[in-house]
C-alpha cells in the first residue's frame, strides 16, 4: 500500500496547466468596478450580505453628519 505524498502548501499539482493563461487579464476591470474590504471574522458573522454592510455604513455616515452639524451649531 502506497502512502500519499503530501504536497507542500505552495506546490501545484502536475495536472494544472496555466501555459495559455494571461497574467492580470481582468485586473483593470476589477480595479474599476469593485472596492473590496476584508472583514474580521467576528464582524463578518454579524453581516449576512454586502447590502447589509452598505446599509449600516450609510446609517453610520448619516449619524456622523448629523453630529458634525450639531457640533458646528453649538460652537458657532
10-67 tens-digit pLDDT: 777 888 888 898 998 888 877 777 777 889 999 999 998 989 999 999 999 999 999 9
Cβ atoms of 7 and 13 within 8 Å: the answer is yes
Per-position DSSP letters for 5-69, written without gaps between them: PPPPTTPPPTT---TT--TTTTHHHHHHH----PPPHHHHTT-SSHHHHHHHHHHHHHHHHHHHH
Global confidence as pTM: 0.51
Check residue 8 and give its pLDDT. 63
Check residue 15 and give its pLDDT. 87
For residue 4, pLDDT beyond 80:
no
- Cα–Cα distance for residue pair 51/2, rounded to 1 Å: 50
Amino acid at each position: 500500500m502506497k502512502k500519499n505524498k503530501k504536497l507542500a502548501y505552495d506546490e501545484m499539482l502536475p495536472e494544472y496547466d496555466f501555459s495559455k493563461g494571461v497574467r492580470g487579464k481582468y485586473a483593470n476591470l476589477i480595479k474599476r468596478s469593485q472596492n473590496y474590504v476584508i472583514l474580521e471574522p467576528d464582524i463578518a458573522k454579524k453581516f449576512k450580505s454586502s447590502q447589509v454592510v452598505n446599509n449600516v455604513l450609510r446609517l453610520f455616515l448619516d449619524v456622523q453628519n448629523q453630529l458634525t452639524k450639531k457640533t458646528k451649531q453649538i460652537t458657532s
